[in-house]
A and B are shown apart, each in its own frame.
Chain A
């Protein structure tokens, strides 16, 4: 099983709403990632969790709040977003470490903020 599952696939939310994106993997990976991708651009790293602890935060605004409740799950809590936050949000997982490490991506959640 090399699958990373993200839900929901599509989400439309207002600027005052609170919503959450979910990500799950069962590959035994202990590193999990959130990326944001705008149209025709490469993914931009937002957060990295390593052994369920936040290890990298790429200066992401506090309206995005990540959570890693266990080694298989990763959430991204959204609150008071702006229209410019509309994007494809990708979750990924990998083994921890730089050598021979490959990241597996989910299909993404396409978020529209209205």
Chain B
């Protein structure tokens, strides 16, 4: 069945470091792909999305490119801030359902 696999965390970085969070998916066809972010004590916020191969989603300095050949949607940011500390979920939308990866906790230290 459809699934999403994320790198295990937690990921701990210093402020202004480069961030990569890996995400790969298993699905037939071309599902829409998403990154959601969850700050402590809050719901999920959509960070970015891509709906077809080679699409690049971007928002707030974060980027991810839909790679059909490697079935990946890795999240990157060139310079993280303390305020980026949160849990990040990769997800795909298929047959009326959002299917989430396990989530990756990011902690950014000043």
Interface residues of A, Cβ cutoff 8 Å to B: 4, 6, 31, 33, 40-43, 45, 48, 50, 55-56, 90, 92, 96, 98-108
Contact = CB atoms under 8 A, between A and B. Distances in A.
Contacts of A48: 96-97
Nearest to A56: B96
A60 to B, nearest CB: 14
A42 B46 contact: no
Contact of A42 (B31, B42, B96, B100): B100
A90 B44 contact: yes
B89 interface: yes
A107 B42 CA distance: 5
Given A90-B44, A98-B31, A45 B89 contact: no
Q: Which of B42, B45, B93, B94 has the most CB of A within 10 A?
A: B93
A31 to B, nearest CB: 7
A90 B97 CA distance: 14
A107 B45 CA distance: 9
A6 B96 CA distance: 21
Interface string B89-110: 1000111111011110100000
Interface string B39-78: 0001111100101000000000000000000000000000
Given A42-B101, A43-B100, A98 B43 contact: no
A102 B59 CA distance: 15
Given A42-B89, A42-B101, A98 B96 contact: yes
Contacts of B36: 105
Nearest to A55: B96
Contacts of B94: 98
Given A99-B32, A100-B32, A102-B49, A43 B96 contact: no
A102 B34 contact: yes
A90 B46 contact: no
